[in-house]
Amino acid sequence: MITATAYAKSPVSQAPRRVSILGSTGSVGCSTLDLIGRDPSHFDVVALTGNSNAELLAQQAVAHDADLAVLADPAGLEDLKSSLSGTSVEAAAGQDALIEAVTRPTDWTMAAIVGSAGLRPTLEAVRQGKSVALANKECLVSAGDIFMEEVAKSGTRLLPVDSEHSAGFQAIDPNASDAIEKITLTASGGPFRTWTQEQMKIATRDDALNHPTWSMGDKLTIDSATLMNKGLELIEAYYLFPVEPEQLNIVIHPQSIVHCLVEYSDGSVLAQLSSPDMRTPIAYSLAWPERMWAPTERLDLAKIGSLDFEAPDYDRFPAPLMAVQALKADNGSTTVLNAANEIAVDAFLKRRIGLPSINALVAETMEAVARDGLSKPKSLEDVLALDALSRTLARTLLQDMI
């Protein structure tokens, strides 16, 4: 969990804050740059990174006067160099360059690479001991204990960006964290909230990408459609907040306005509300411990009229149960769950399997790995080995499915 000192106020330097963004070409990355671009005198952009979109990365680096632009995929280096020729931005590519970018001195790093590809660079950002705004949830799911040990060792200030966790961070009373009885994350329910199991069997990629309230990258949008996202977020919450798995809950809230509720022993419930726009939690992490203006739609509760809540239907959406079971097993199962889910979602996005096969592939992979014997990863290398093994098994099982 984030220690009480993380909640203490610290003076904000008047000098521009040096920032780097891992995954600047994605949904969270673009929203972060949108905010920075509206307030450029307060920020000095050091490094921006993307996977393969050289054109967008170069555009961003020039527009925000970055020192360095790095692509994870070396194949795009020539394009990146030619797009940046004649500018003062350095261009680089590949895993070593990505890690080198993270070690460039900054005050604040946004970790917004999707999937377990974000693990190494985010851990490296944590080791720098400054502020890390954590959007990538997969690294806590895949390597939570190791990740949080590094956070504690380095003294890094971890600022949750996932909207529910930013909301929880805001609603946790640092003087009363012992009095927390329960933390409830809300879930929109996704595009299939009202669909029957029969209808969900024939759901298409486009149906699944049609999220009712949030605009996000494809992987997360599919995770939201299966509610695996909420499972990953329960695991994330366990590592970020001072609670046991039994104290974590989810509730379906189709309007996505209340993001997290923290219940205390005196019966008080503190919640954070905002319209569903990632620029609010990103702005919170960018300005913390102060606040900055964000160009988001303001809440008009009279216009909204009512906020609805309902219990999740785990018959149609079993993924959160799988995630909690994996968390409680405390034996590396969450690493397997995350890896198998990444393979399954990728296969669904490529139209190789249907929606129900996502959960089936995750469950089968978890069983297969468990049959061979699982033990809790003790190092990053252990995590990466278990992640690779799980992916191999998931790919084999996938072949039998299609």
Q: Which residue is nearest to ligand NAD (CB)?
A: 26
Nearest to ligand NAD of 135, 393 (CB atom) = 135
Six token digits for residue 239: 């590592």
Interaction mask 160-189, ligand NAD, x per CB under 6 A = --x---------------------------
In 190-307, which ranges are continuous DSSP H helix? 197-201, 205-209, 218-226, 228-240, 279-287, 301-304
Q: Which stretch binds ligand NAD (CB under 6 A): 130-138, 182-190, 241-249, 360-368?
A: 130-138
Could you tell me which stretch among 23-31, 43-51, 81-89, 160-168 binds Mg ion (CB under 5 A)?
A: 160-168
Of 162, 263, 364, 387, the one binding Mg ion by CB under 5 A? 162
Q: Distance between CA 204 and CA 292 in Å, rounded?
A: 40
**27-66 binders of ligand NAD (CB under 6 A):** 27-29, 50-51
CA distances from 285 to 12, 45, 48, 264, 273 (A): 13, 16, 17, 24, 16
Contact in structure between 189 and 252 (CB atoms under 8 Å): yes
The correct pick among 117, 125, 327, 361 for binding ligand NAD (CB under 6 A) is 117
Main-chain dihedrals φ then ψ at residue 19, nearest 5 degrees? -130, 145
Name the binder of 165 from Mg ion, ligand NAD, none, CB < 5-8 A by kind: none
Task: Report the distance separating Cα 361 and Cα 346, nearest Å.
Answer: 12
CB of 227 to ligand NAD, least distance (A): 14
**DSSP symbol at 13:** P
Per-residue x/- marks for ligand NAD, 268-307, CB under 6 A? ----------x-----------------------------
Q: How far is the CB of 74 from ligand NAD (least distance, A)?
A: 11
Give the footprint of ligand NAD on residues 71-90 (CB under 6 A): 72
Q: Checking DSSP bridges between strand 269-273 and strand 258-264, what pairing results, if any?
A: antiparallel
Q: Give me the DSSP letters along 85-145.
A: TTSS-EEEESHHHHHHHHHS--SEEEE---SGGGHHHHHHHHHTTSEEEE---HHHHHHHH
**Is the bond preceding residue 160 a cis peptide, omega within 30 degrees?**
no
By C-beta, is 177 or 272 nearer to ligand NAD? 272
From 137, 157, 253, 259, residue interacting with ligand NAD (rule: CB under 6 A): 137
What, of Mg ion, ligand NAD, none, does residue 117 touch, CB below 5 to 8 Å by kind? ligand NAD
What stretch of H or E contains 50? Answer: strand 43-50
Site for ligand NAD (CB under 6 A): which residue of 61, 114, 258, 326? 114
Q: Which residues pair with 252 in a beta bridge?
A: 187, 310
Q: Restricting to residues 213-252, which ones interact with ligand NAD according to CB under 6 A? A: 214, 216-217, 219-220
Residue placing its CB nearer to ligand NAD in the complex, 176 or 209:
209
Residue whose entry in the numeric block shows the structure tokens 């018959």: 315
User: Please, are residues 134 and 121 in contact by the beta-carbon 8 Å criterion?
Assistant: no
Count residues binding ligand NAD (CB under 6 A). Answer: 25
Q: Which residues bind ligand NAD (CB under 6 A)?
A: 23-29, 50-51, 72, 112-114, 117, 135-138, 162, 214, 216-217, 219-220, 278
Binding region for Mg ion (CB under 5 A):
162-164
